Structure 1
Amino acid sequence: MVKHTEPDQTLIKMPSLRAVKAFVAAARYQNFTRAAEALCVTQAAISRQIRELEDHLGAELFNRAGRAVELTSAGSIFYDAVQLSFTNIAQAAERISSNSNSKHVVTLCCSQAFANLLLLPRLPSFFEAHPEIDLNLVVTQNFLTMENGVHPDLIICKLVKSHDGYHSQALMHDQIYPVCTPLYLERHPELRTVHDLRDGALLNLSPFGRSQVAEHVDWMVWLAYHDIDLKARPADSPPFFNANDYNMLIQLALNHQGVVLGWNHLVGHLVKTGVLVRPVKQSMVLQDSKHYLSFNEDKQHDAGCRRLHEWLLGEFGPDFGQELD
């Protein structure tokens, strides 16, 4: 006699996972059109799936206001539960996929400036030496608050203890000095002293949008360190340009637009190759301001993680940030 399985009421009552996925995307982006773009479906499909989900639950999940939407109280309760579940599913799928893949997938988290100015030029040599590793790079300015589902194997930042479960090693300290192109200095031979720099075209890193845990050094701070008051600049001085994107400032300097403060670990190789020059010899050395390489302790026996860790230490270890003077 064949024994029939009783209907599983829990699974039967579960809403459609496709509809739940549409809901999570809409809640995350607070916009049905953006949710549709994220899931590579039409906006009509998102709207239909959310209506079906609301009918299934018997509650409205969103307040609609034109193109923008916001969660209702019921929507917030549902989102808190399902986004965590989806994160767990995605992580489990990634672990299974990684285990079945012959390559090692390693996640590294660092700042945009570090990625663009230091890491990317060196990646070809790393991939050539380690073809068995697929690198997953996560760029952020806020290392205290990672996006859901992001658990880096390695982190490079200014926090000695960025997250629990990581072991940190000091890589380099901060040394900051002015840089410009040789052509810009040739066009402005008057830039001979720190005082001369104060009255020149300065490219300044503003505090807006920067990580709250990193101390801020701008032209006012750097000049004050050398007993020069930036506020005493003459009214007819060249432009003083502010931006919170360090890569943009470096690009402006490379385009001969002015003088920018250079962090040695980011611009030192450009100085050594002559792409940039130091118009004055003065620098600001912060021995206690260090950058750290943090290793996820759960991955200490992972071969791919260890190889990337050893490579990073070799490329950017304690001697990397030494003074050039």
Structure 2
Amino acid sequence: MVKHTQPDQTLIKMPSLRAVKAFVAAARYQNFTRAAEALCVTQAAISRQIRDLEEHLGAELFNRAGRTVELTPAGSIFYDAVQLSFTNIAQAAERIRHTDSPKQRVTLCCSPAFANFWLGPKLPAFFASHPEIDLNVVVTQNFLTLENGINPDLLICKMAKSGQGYFSQPLVCDVIYPVCTPQYLQQHPEVRTLEGLRDTALLNLSPFGRSQVAEHVDWKVWFAYQDIDLDRRNIDAPLLFNANDFSLLLQLTQNHQGVALGWHYLVAPLVEQGLLVRPVEETLVHRETLHYLSMSEAKARDASCCKVRDWLAEQFDWSLHEDSEADTQADSPT
């Protein structure tokens, strides 16, 4: 006996997508004639599609006023919903069409700080050496639960993705030291000592909303590794400024507003350029806190993904070398 599929009421009750497309165009241009021109159809066709849609919904979608039209309250509700849906459909179709393009798209997921201070300055060189690859960068702080539809080919974050459909390799450990501008150091020479540093304006990275899976290092932790109690700050010391955005803290630092903790692989270029300086030599080396480069197992034989992965790993070589030098100058935490 042949089993028949029951009628799908959801699909049956859906309005005509052709009529919805006409509605979106009319709402966007607020004119049936311009909507017809945009869709390469006649104005009569647009009017008919809109009329059929209104009959289907049992509500007027437009207020007609001469040659222009305005959305009714019901039309505004419908437009907000269908515009987002059409955008998603268009983007999905574009991604599918893109698979036939001679260029290959590679999606890299990373943190805002990594994108701004490490990746961004290096991208022009990547574009020049790999014109055949379209790199799609997705920036997030939440690596534990990525948004629906985001399936990165490559990730750089503080957790290994091994066993979750990814191959992971360690890139660098955390090497953390204070940084400020030369101007701030000149105006506050007391920050050349740990006690003076404790009592100056401190720009602190808070953990809130950062989805950290490793130990979070802020000023309290950093000073504790140097046997300094942050709670014993001078009563007249400036207040600590807290933010969970490293980019904001570094921007304030470069504007001479205080001293921030700098992660070596992010701030080393700024130090080398003389834009930032290290007021003290003390460094916290977290050998157990690693940053990983993970690649999707499904892309293991994808030439473009492998090129991007290899390029990223090669760019980190200088960081590993610099970190080794920093290790020799710093006392390792026990």
Per the normalisation by structure 2, the TM-score is: 0.72
Per the alignment, residue 95 of structure 2 pairs with 94
Equivalence for 2:238: 238
> Secondary structure of the equivalent of 1:281?
coil
Partner SS for 2:189: coil
User: C-alpha separation between the residues in 2 aligned to 1:100 and 1:233?
Assistant: 62
Change (3 A) 1:218 1:224: same
Q: Which runs of 5+ in 2 are unaligned?
A: 1-6, 31-49, 59-72, 330-334
One-letter code aligned to 2:132:
E
Q: Name the structure 2 match of 1:322.
A: 323
From the superposition, tell whether residues 262 and 14 of structure 1 become closer, same or farther in structure 2 (CA, over 3 Å).
same
1:94 is displaced (CA, Å) by 1.6
The residue identity in structure 1 corresponding to 2:151 is H
| 1:201/1:42 CA distance change after superposition, 3 Å | farther
**CA contact 2:105–2:133 (8 Å) conserved in 1:** yes
Aligned-pair distance for 1:303? 1.6
Contact (CA 8 Å) 1:179, 1:278: kept in 2 or not? yes
Task: Kindly name which structure, 1 or 2, has the bigger radius of gyration based on alpha carbons.
Answer: 2
Q: How does 1:167-316 map to 2 (within 5 A)?
A: 167-316=167-316
Give 1:66-215 correspondences, 5 Å limit: 94-95=95-96, 97-161=97-161, 164-215=164-215
Q: Residue 190 of structure 1: CA displacement?
A: 1.5
Letter in 2 for 1:201: A
| Offset of residue 215 of structure 1 | 2.5
Displacement after TM superposition at 1:197 (Å): 0.5
Mapped contact 1:16–1:53 kept (Cα < 8 A) = no
8 A contact 2:214–2:289 mirrored in 1: no
Distance in 2 of aligned mates of 1:104 and 1:266: 28
What is the one-letter code of the residue matched to 1:294? S
User: 1:122 corresponds to which letter in structure 2?
Assistant: K
Amino acid at match of 2:288: D
Choose 147-156 or 115-124, whichever is displaced more: 147-156
Amino acid aligned to 2:149: G
Q: How far, CA to CA, are the matches of 1:193 and 1:93 in structure 2?
A: 57
* Identity score, percent: 55
What runs of 5+ residues in structure 1 fail to find an aligned partner? 1-8, 22-35, 44-48, 58-63, 70-74, 76-82
C-alpha distance after superposition, 1:202-228 (max 9, x if no partner): 111112221142431111111111111
Give how far 1:298 is off. 0.9
Amino acid at match of 1:226: Q
The one-letter amino acid paired with 2:95 is E
Q: CA deviation at 1:55?
A: 6.0
In the alignment, residue 155 of structure 2 is paired with which amino acid? I
The Cα shift of 1:116 comes to 0.1
* Separation (CA, whole Å) in 2 of partners of 1:291 and 1:259: 24
Give the deviation of 1:239 after TM superposition: 3.3
Identify if the C-alpha distance between structure 1 residues 54 and 205 changes in structure 2 by more than 3 Å, giving closer, same or farther: farther
Pair 41,237 (structure 1): closer, same or farther in 2 beyond 3 Å:
same
SS at match of 1:319: helix
SS state at 1:322 partner: helix
Q: Secondary structure at the match of 2:220?
A: helix
Residue 150 and residue 227 in structure 1: after superposition, are their counterparts in 2 closer, same or farther (change >3 A)?
same
Letter paired with 2:125: S
- Please state how far the C-alpha of 1:196 moved relative to its aligned partner: 1.2
Bigger shift: 252-261 or 10-19?
Answer: 10-19
State the TM-score, normalized to the length of structure 1. Answer: 0.74
| TM superposition shift of 1:19 | 8.5
Shift of the 212–55 alpha-carbon distance from structure 1 to 2, 3 Å rule, reads farther
CA distance in 2, matches of 1:19, 1:139: 37
Name the SS for the 1:185 alignment partner.
helix
Aligned residue identity for 2:156: I
Q: Secondary structure at the match of 2:196?
A: helix
Could you say if the C-alpha distance between residues 273 and 163 of structure 1 is closer, same or farther in structure 2, counting changes exceeding 3 Å? farther
Q: Deviations over 1:150-193 (max 9, x none)?
A: 11110000111277211000000001110111111111112221
Mapped contact 1:117–1:266 kept (Cα < 8 A): yes
The alpha carbon displacement at 1:237 in A equals: 0.8
Q: What is the RMSD of the two structures over their aligned residues, measured on CA atoms?
A: 3.9
Change (3 A) 1:254 1:137: same
- 3-state DSSP of counterpart to 2:274: coil
CA distance in 1: counterparts of 2:220 and 2:272, whole angstroms = 26
Letter aligned with residue 185 of structure 2: L
How many equivalent pairs are there? 282
Distance 1:303 1:231, change over 3 A: same
Which segment drifts farther, 9-18 or 245-254? 9-18
**Alpha-carbon deviation of 1:238?**
2.2
